[in-house]
Structure 1
Amino acid sequence: MTPARIPGSARLATYFHVHLVSDSTGETLNAMAKAVTARFDGVIPIEHIYALVRSPRQMERVLEEMASAPGVVLHTIVDRELREQLETGCRHLDMPQIGALDPLVGALSRYLGAALSTRVGAQHTLDNDYFNRISALDFAMAHDDGQGTTEQLESADVVLCGVSRTSKTPTCIYLAHRGIRAANVPLIPGQEDGERLVALKNPLVIGLTVSPDRLVQIRKNRLEGLNAQRASAYVDHNAVRDETVKARRAFERRGWPVIDVTRRSIEETAAAVINLVSERRTRRVGASW
């Protein structure tokens, strides 16, 4: 482990190597490693990802690379021989190794009384769920930023509505990866007020709102990143406050559930949307999140 100063801070950060070894794409390990290390302040992992490791020769190369950067090893290796090769190699290197899914798999196995599958990459099977996710992604891209007629929007599971820069598009993309068909319609002063969504019967329409101060900051950053100029109303505090107030009133008048995205990540906003969709399916949709 190597201590170093955190940029912009007087505190020392601890850098360490974490080796992620997977016989599949490595997505599960990557997410788990990020979730765990986020629980420690001042700890920054240096990730080494080895995906699609499915032969003894590949494992040999992995162990050779790990020897040059001692650290912690997380793996999701299913094949018994490959797993034994990795465990033996880690013992020789004096590096701790952890089967990331072992506790959960073991607990479920005992509960279900079922034998474990040794099929590699089982979670990435080209089944109906996979193709539904691809279809949902196509739908989100085809119905982004107000595209599509009212009739076309009827086939959505959810339609997100909000003023500019309330994370509508990335939230729809994230939802698509969860198999949810999501479209979004922006509220544009003097042009689009969302009235056409009132007639929708199938999708759940959700309003996204944000604090005016945060919205002004986001819009200014966006313009700076594009080296663009926009009419002052787009970033004027009074105009933006009026825009957000009108949007929330429109949501409340139409009885749409509202999610405040001011302090939410895309993942958190998507989770709130999923909860609302699930509640609607059980006739328990709430008024606000």
Structure 2
Amino acid sequence: MTLTPQQRLATYFHVHLVSDSTGETLNALARAVCARFENVLPIEHIYALVRSPRQLDRALSDIEEAPGMVIHTIVDDQLRTALEEGCRRLDMPCIAALDPLVSALSRYLGASITSRVGVQHALDNDYFNRMDALNYAIGHDDGQGGQDLEQADVVLVGVSRTSKTPTCIYLAHRGVRAANVPLVPHRPPPEKLFDLKRALVVGLTVSPDRLVQIRKNRLLSLKETRESTYTDPEEVRDELVRARRLFERQGWPVIDVTRRSVEETAAAVLNLMHGGHGQVEVLG
């Protein structure tokens, strides 16, 4: 009998991520690539800020003990050569993750490549803008700081557990000042929400069944077992209907987060910001 990919056991493998900077870019790239394969689960070994032969030797020692794929973003020529030779000696595949893209861009621009390490993390205006946006998102989470919502680039509105907070935090890392306002049963939203001139207001919705499941899981994590209207299917459905009616009355664009990751929801918000306001339905 031939097993389908879904029926096969997951394949675990070691992946060694070697970076002379924070490793964030490399880690995100590796996860994005691994996500393209069914039932493949990487065991990640991250070596960040590798900038000396001694640090590289420690990494190679670990690689020898746990054989697997080696992916790197080393800029320094000597360290890069030492890593590649070490992997060749150990018979390990070694991939320079950014080389194809950097080379293609260099040819297209006719520009030379910088050898500065971690240049993408320089403390420039973008960095401080992201930190400011993150502070704003934290200070305006769950309806806090309602008096200065006008300072937001975007305000997310939705019932409890519709991914408002993680989406705002993700947007903040992109430099977007994002606030969120919860829709609580029998409590009107703040009046300021309806007077915003600059900020884009986006409604978040989700399927009733999915929301009930999320809320039940949340209560279980809090060891809360008492019955509550918070997870009652009829009450949840009514909450969502009232929220949708509010979105429609206000002409706010709506994003269905039922089948969306936080990253996908944030991308949809960014698309709305770049494409203008108006009544828009973004399906899950």
TM-score (structure 2 length as normaliser): 0.94
Report how far residue 72 of structure 1 moved: 1.0
| Contact 2:158–2:204 (8 Å) recurs in 1 | yes
Match of 1:187 in 2: 183
Q: Hey, what's the Cα distance between the residues in 2 that align with 1:285 and 1:113?
A: 42
Task: Please name the residue that 2:155 is paired with.
Answer: 159
Pairwise mapping of residues 34-113 of structure 1 onto structure 2 (< 5 A)? 34-113=31-110
Deviation of residue 89 (structure 1)? 0.9
Structure 1 residue 195: Cα displacement: 4.8
Is the partner of 2:204 in helix, strand or coil?
strand
CA contact (8 A) 1:162 1:186 kept: yes
Alpha-carbon distance change, 285 to 124 in structure 1, aligned in 2, over 3 angstroms? farther
Equivalent in the alignment of 2:202: 206
97-106 or 194-203, which deviates more: 194-203
Contact 1:161 1:194 in 2 (8 A): no
Aligned counterparts of 2:279 and 2:79: Cα–Cα separation in 1: 50
How many residues align? The count is 277
In the TM superposition, residue 19 of structure 1 has moved relative to its aligned partner by: 0.9
Equivalence map 1:190-269=2 (5 Å): 190-193=186-189, 195-228=191-224, 232-269=228-265
- TM-score, structure 1 as length reference: 0.92
Unmatched runs of 5 consecutive residues or more in structure 2: 1-5
Query: What's the CA shift for 1:10?
Result: 5.3
- The Cα shift of 1:36 comes to 0.9
Structure 1, unmatched stretches of 5+, are 1-8
AA in 2 matched with 1:260: D
How far does residue 16 in structure 1 lie from its aligned partner after superposition? Answer: 1.4
Q: Provide the secondary structure at the position in 1 that maps to 2:41.
A: strand
Match of residue 6 from structure 1: none
For residues 12 and 239 of structure 1, the distance between their equivalents in structure 2, rounded to whole angstroms, comes to: 40
RMSD, matched Cα: 1.5
Q: Report deviation, 1:56.
A: 1.3
Counterparts of 1:168-187 in structure 2, within 5 Å, are: 168-187=164-183
**Letter of the aligned partner of 1:30 in structure 2?**
N
Partner of 2:23: 26
After alignment, is 39-48 or 261-270 more displaced?
39-48
Q: Residue 258 of structure 2: SS of its match in structure 1?
A: coil
Percent identity between matched residues is 70
Q: Does the residue aligned with 2:43 lie in a helix, a strand or coil? A: strand
Picking from 7, 11, 16, the partner of 1:14 is: 11
Runs of 4+ in 1 over 4 A off after TM superposition: none
Partner of 1:3: none
Query: What is the rounded CA distance, in whole Å, between the counterparts of 1:149 and 1:265 in structure 2?
Result: 27
Offset, 1:59 = 1.2
Distance in 1 of aligned mates of 2:247 and 2:41: 42
